Structure 1
Amino acid sequence: MVASKTSSKKLFIFSLSFLSFTTLGSCSNCSLQEGDNGGVKGMFVFGSSLVDNGNNNFFENNAKADYLPYGIDFPNGPSGRFTNGKNLIDLLGEHLKIPSFIPPFKDPSTKGNKIVYGVNHASGSSGILDDTGLVAGNVTSLSEQIRDFEHVTLPDLESELGCSRTDLLPRYLFVVGVGGNDIVFNYFLRGAFPRVDLRTFIADLITTLSKHLQKLYSFGARKFVLTTIYPLGNSPMVKMNMANCGVCGRTLNQVTELYNSNLKVLVDRIEQQFPGSDFSIIHTYNIVMDILSNAASKGTITSICMHGCT
């Protein structure tokens, strides 16, 4: 569920206005230039459909957005983004003056100089947990995305720019947008709830996410942007499949808020544990609820996530 192109952009840019990054020193033996984009060279992206920009187009699965009405406001039509136009990553890239769209990792043409401003590894329907995406078939879990970054993207980037990862990665933003599918698909749809209570499940999600962030930090990542989960109870998938269950949507939103509060606690803690790190949170829950509560002033709301904004 997204707003019209103009209002959506204003809301996302407003939410990102707190992001400020100090300019880092240039590398002594590589081609990075001092002051590129205010200290941010580009972005590496991990997560699910909130931040996927087309990876799922390149392999078989049931989580695709390569058909109308997806992309009705995008320059070349459907692109694999799970929205009517630009997604959060595109808007963040514009805000940081990154000169091109971040290419999807699974696109065979994503190599050479195409990767110098970053690579998008996100995969719609994936989750923090490895088995979350099984309901959609062949999608790339967060752990697999990070392995692809470690074994393919990072060596290629070092070779392309002639820099070591220690010099390179502090110049890039690491965006991680994930978690909603773990709650909807893994806990509720696949029936984990009889075996584990909700608070324990959320705590396990946060612990696993922390390990993934630790992995990225160990490579040299220092600047992180995490997203909260948007209001799951208001998603088109829930509205469509639980039309006669108003309490279901309210329950999902309460669960979402529980996850989001735990995410904030995690960020407060790991910033102290990761020396030199800088974490910011994009509050997608608040943004979407603001749009839904003030639709008349924000623009037309278009429900186009046909299989559920995964």
Structure 2
Amino acid sequence: MLVLLLIFRETEGAKKTYGVYDSSNPVKLFIFGDSYVDTGNFVHSESYKVPNGITYPGKPAGRFCDGRNLADYLASYLKIETPTPYAFINSTNMQCGVNFGYGGTGVFSTSIDGPNTTSQIDSFQKLIEQNQIIKQDLQSAIALVNAGANDYTNALKDGKFLNLPSFRDSLVKQIAVNLKRIHSLGINKVAVTLLQPVGCLPVLNLIALRLECVDLLNAVSRDHNKLLLQAVQDLNQETGGQSVFITLDLYNSFLSAIETIKKQRAENSTWMNPLQPCCEGKTLADSCGTVDDNGSKRYSLCDTPTLSFFWDVVHPSQKGWSAIFPLLQSSIGQLITT
């Protein structure tokens, strides 16, 4: 058995997560969702523009942050390389699975012209039908699904937010349909993330001067998660009580990591304010990586990205994910042990 030892020095969290890769590991990871898990599918986006990727791998690489994201950390935990983005797959690079995640998309259609979760699962099914993914690949496979936040943002723009309970019900029902479909295609371990505390995102916590999360907005996440937890419980009951479906609690993991950082800062930690983005557009029309016609930056960048929790106004930095991921590991362990 060939074991490759890789040592990374960015953060203590990364040291705990990145380490040993096992080339004989039969586990394959199939990823569906949005920019929290996209590792390169949204080719014509700011994820391929400077300064994204500044921490890892040192240049833009298709991730909406300065380095690794949730998909990378989960793959490393499973001791496999990060699965190849669907946009770049071929017959030789799917040994660890496929990442279908696409930044900006959602469970339903959003303002981004990219594949929503249903379309991503369609692509997965097509690979199975073409025998590019065989049943043997699926026997030890794990699926990760992260979607929903962009749907709420889109609903706010389209006025659907005015009938939030009805929209939330339809959203969670569709997530359940997607999870059940992934399982029906042959994957017996499916992890779905709970919605992050949206009131903590810098794009929204600005109304609290980025000193606190906005609890009124976090209530949207809590209500969504309550319904999703029940839906997952119902799905497991349909499978005879097996723990096919598990949830990864991004909501409480975000909150816990943020509060821990706040306490550390009070003790002279070098962390930035965890509710402050490292990279931010100069106007609402600009984003991290935006330049004008002359190539001049339309964004500001913090001095030390590796000390930030949020990379931009929506996405955690690599340092942020390294603080969040250990809080998810007890749940993720169920993917392997059950």
Where 1:182 maps in the other structure, the secondary structure is helix
Q: 1:43 aligns with which of 16, 26, 29?
A: 29
What letter matches 1:149 in structure 2? F
Check 1:89–1:244 CA distance in 2 against 1; reply closer, same or farther (3 A cut).
closer
What TM-score do you get using the length of structure 2 for normalisation? 0.69
Per the alignment, residue 271 of structure 1 pairs with: 236
Cα offset for 1:213?
1.3
Per the alignment, residue 208 of structure 1 pairs with: 174
Whole-Å separation in 1 of the counterparts to 2:72 and 2:200: 23
Cα offset for 1:157?
2.7
Deviations 1:221-277 (A, max 9, x none): 11111111111111122245x567999933221101111121211111101113555
Dislocated runs of 4+, deviation >4 Å? 242-248
Per the alignment, residue 308 of structure 2 pairs with: 301
Unaligned runs of 5+ in 1: 14-34
Task: Return the structure number with greater relative CO, CA threshold 8 A, min gap 6.
Answer: 1
Per the alignment, residue 172 of structure 1 pairs with: 141
Are 2:63 and 1:81 aligned? yes
Check 1:154–1:71 CA distance in 2 against 1; reply closer, same or farther (3 A cut).
farther
Per the alignment, residue 122 of structure 2 pairs with: 147
Cα offset for 1:85?
1.4
Cα offset for 1:208?
0.6
Per the alignment, residue 16 of structure 1 pairs with: none
Whole-Å separation in 1 of the counterparts to 2:62 and 2:74: 18
Check 1:154–1:8 CA distance in 2 against 1; reply closer, same or farther (3 A cut).
farther
Where 1:114 maps in the other structure, the secondary structure is coil
**% identical equivalent positions:** 26
Q: 1:113 aligns with which of 79, 92, 97?
A: 92
Are 2:191 and 1:191 aligned? no
Q: Is the 8 A contact 1:295 1:301 kept in 2?
A: no
Whole-Å separation in 2 of the counterparts to 1:247 and 1:6: 25
What letter matches 1:86 in structure 2? R
Cα offset for 1:36?
5.0
Q: 1:257 aligns with which of 222, 228, 231?
A: 222
CA RMSD across the alignment: 2.8
Per the alignment, residue 282 of structure 2 pairs with: none
Cα offset for 1:121?
0.2
Whole-Å separation in 1 of the counterparts to 2:32 and 2:175: 12
Deviations 1:18-52 (A, max 9, x none): xxxxxxxxxxxxxxxxx953xx5210000011111
Per the alignment, residue 124 of structure 1 pairs with: 103
Whole-Å separation in 1 of the counterparts to 2:210 and 2:70: 30
What letter matches 1:144 in structure 2? S
What TM-score do you get using the length of structure 1 for normalisation? 0.75
Q: 1:103 aligns with which of 80, 84, 92?
A: 84
Whole-Å separation in 1 of the counterparts to 2:226 and 2:52: 31
* Corresponding residue pairs, total: 261
Whole-Å separation in 1 of the counterparts to 2:196 and 2:189: 22
Where 2:256 maps in the other structure, the secondary structure is helix
